[in-house]
Amino acid sequence: MTTPTTISSSGEATASTATRMLTFAATACLVVATVGQWLFGIYILLFYGKTTLTGDFARWNRVLPHGYVEGDWKGNLIVGSHVLLAAVLVIGGPLQLMSPIRQNFLRFHRWLGRTYVTTAILVSLAGLIMVWTRGTIGDLTQKISISLQAIYIISFALLAIRAARARRFDQHRAWALRLFMVTNGVWFFRVGLMGWLLINGGPVGFDPKTFTGPFLTALAVFTYALPVSLLVLEMYFHAQKKPDNTFRFITAAFIFLCTVIMAIGIFGATVGMWLPRI
Ligand code: HEM
């Protein structure tokens, strides 16, 4: 016979399984994202760092159609700062989220946090100038979407600083995580694109010459303008707060699914994009 005690203990077991699944999914996601971000960071340092140090700026144009323009030193400086400072974001971002570093090296966490926030704002401003003055591949929807992302980055960075200064650490954590998600929009875009190419065995749903088409429109909208990454994060926040086991299981499953897609995309981007360029 089922007694109230057995019901409550089986309820507790389900609750603890749901919580464990959620934590495990979030940890797996962070580990996979960290590996992928650092691979992107290594590519940035080896490609842009090396060409900058050796003065071989013309090589940027193998990757960026409007990367280096002879005689336009201001524009070139903006592009150079954008890509080199980007390394600080993709290498430093995951470090900020690691709790052992936060707990044991608080001064480093604070220093890196200030650097990250300032860099995110500078990289976004440089990106906006690049999109609207130098031109880039892609259509107007892609340009508007990435510009919206720059506005999210700048706004979330300022909100994260404001919460930290007011010592509202719960809010600071939430805004810092939102900032991390939108700052990684460009990384999600690359990983999403290369995962799609890998799964389909080539370009499907877009024209690789003009870099336009329904797939790229959807990818730009859902990584930049209406980021799915933010939706996943908000689900995670909600699942952590509300003792609703079903929602915790659904969120954990969704995070797992995103992690698998991300892992495929990271493999595709590393093998198909970053390694061949170095
Ligand atoms: C904040 C995180 C960002 C990072 C880490 C980042 C990183 C990069 C990197 C590494 C490149 C070189 C492309 C490559 O080698 O694959 C690049 C190019 C570029 N980025 Fe960003 N970026 C960020 C944000 C933005 C934003 C917010 C914008 C626009 C508002 C932007 C606009 C551009 C443009 C226009 C290019 C040149 C693309 C072309 O010539 O077609 N970036 N970015």
All residues at 6 or more sequence positions from 165 whose CB lies less than 8 Å from its CB, including other chains: none
Which residue is listed with tokens 């994260």? 160
What pLDDT score was predicted for residue 1?
47
> Whose CA is closest to atom 33 on ligand 1?
127
Q: Which pair of structure tokens corresponds to residue 159?
A: 């909100």
Task: Return the amino acid letter for 275.
Answer: L
Mean predicted confidence (pLDDT) in 164-186: 96
> Whose CA is closest to atom 31 on ligand 1?
127
Q: What is the pLDDT of residues 111-163, one digit of tens each?
A: 999 999 999 999 999 999 999 998 788 999 999 999 999 999 999 999 999 99
- What is the radius of gyration, based on Cα positions, of the chain? 21
Task: Return the amino acid letter for 134.
Answer: R
Show the ligand 1 pocket: residues with CB < 6 angstroms. 44, 63-67, 82-83, 86, 89-90, 120, 123-124, 127-128, 130-131, 136-137, 146-147, 149-150, 153, 183, 186
Q: What is the pLDDT of residues 68-89, one digit of tens each?
A: 998 999 999 999 999 999 999 9
Q: What is the pLDDT of residues 229-246, one digit of tens each?
A: 999 999 999 999 998 999
Percent of the chain with pLDDT over 90: 90
E strand intervals along 34-103: none
Residue 154 near residue 122 (C-beta atoms within 8 A): no
Q: Which residue has the higher pLDDT, 253 or 134?
A: 253
State the pLDDT confidence band at 6, using cuts at 50, 70 and 90: low
Pocket test for ligand 1, best of 130, 188, 191 (most atoms within 8 A of CB): 130
